[in-house]
A and B are shown apart, each in its own frame.
Chain A
Amino acid sequence: GQNIDQPTEMTATEGAIVQINCTYQTSGFNGLFWYQQHAGEAPTFLSYNVLDGLEEKGRFSSFLSRSKGYSYLLLKELQMKDSASYLCAVMDSNYQLIWGAGTKLIIKP
């Protein structure tokens, strides 16, 4: 079966760095997405990786290793507004998205 695993919840301190991991087993691979979802709101797109390596976008970076079925989202200089759930999704061989359950990130002052 297809499976996406990410931690349920993480806590970090304002101004610090946090890494949210995502491991996957899917039927084929056409890219990995990270979305941010604030409580009670819709998911919004953060990043897309299809090749191995690190993609940097401001305070957020996303890494992919296809051989290990592994990705992480790195958030630097954490701000209170970064408190949200972070959703990992993999596009399979049929171009369908398989979603993880999301990681709830709590930022403490």
Chain B
Amino acid sequence: NAGVTQTPKFQVLKTGQSMTLQCAQDMNHEYMSWYRQDPGMGLRLIHYSVGAGITDQGEVPNGYNVSRSTTEDFPLRLLSAAPSQTSVYFCASSYSMGTGANVLTFGAGSRLTVL
């Protein structure tokens, strides 16, 4: 099993450009999520999905869009990149959200720099 696959691993953008971070999982997980990780801060939830066709906002959704057309894929779109979006992005999935034992499997991360 590949687990959670994220692409690209590294990306440099100019302010105002748009791009999509790809995330795919092969574990038939219902729950998928996107986090950003910045120095000195905890992981912050951007958007999440509890199943195909269902998405919701997390703690820091502004400037990002998501869609969930299939169980496997959960892309994150940056609409107009800003330097404040320079960060490491992690996609994570689990079997469900509504239980306490919601163990997340993370992708390898995507390091994004916005100039």
* CB < 8 Å neighbour of A101 from B40, B102, B103: B40
Chain B binding surface SS class: loop
Contact check, B100 vs A30: say whether CB atoms are below 8 A apart.
yes
Determine how close the nearest CB of chain B comes to the CB of A25; give it in whole angstroms: 14
Whether B108 pairs with A42 at a CB distance below 8 angstroms is: yes
Q: Which residue of B lies closest to A33 (CB)?
A: B103
On whether the beta carbons of B42 and A42 are closer than 8 Å, the reply is no
Do B42 and A4 have beta carbons less than 8 Å apart? yes
Give the interface residue-count category, chain B.
20 to 34
Task: Give the contacting residue for A45; candidates B40, B41, B43, B104; CB below 8 A.
Answer: B104
Q: Which residues in chain A, 33-80, are within 8 Å of chain B measured between CB atoms?
A: 33, 35, 40-45, 48, 50
**Residues of chain B lying within 8 A (CB to CB) of residue A43:** 43, 90, 104, 106
B106 surroundings in chain A (CB, below 8 A): 42-44
What A residues does B78 contact at CB under 8 A? none
Contact of B42 among A33, A45, A87, A95 (CB under 8 A): A87
A57 CB → nearest B CB, Å: 13
Q: How far is the CB of A49 from chain B (nearest CB, A)?
A: 10
Q: Are B43 and A99 in contact (CB under 8 A)?
A: yes
Instruction: Name the interface residues of B44-67: CB closer than 8 Å to any CB of A.
Output: 44-45, 58
Chain B residues with Cβ under 8 A from A89's Cβ?
42-43
- A42:B107 contact, CB within 8 angstroms: yes
Contacts of A44 in B (CB 8 A): 106
Interface residues of B in 91-114 (CB under 8 A from A): 97-109
Is B109 a contact of A91 with CB atoms below 8 Å?
no
| CB pair B43 A87 closer than 8 Å | yes
Any B CB within 8 A of the CB of A31: yes
Contacts from B to A (Cβ < 8 Å): 40-45, 58, 90, 97-109
Q: Which residues of A contact B (CB under 8 A)?
A: 4, 8, 30-31, 33, 35, 40-45, 48, 50, 87, 89, 91, 95-102
7 pairs from A and B in contact (CB 8 Å cutoff): A42-B109, A43-B90, A45-B103, A45-B104, A48-B103, A95-B99, A102-B42
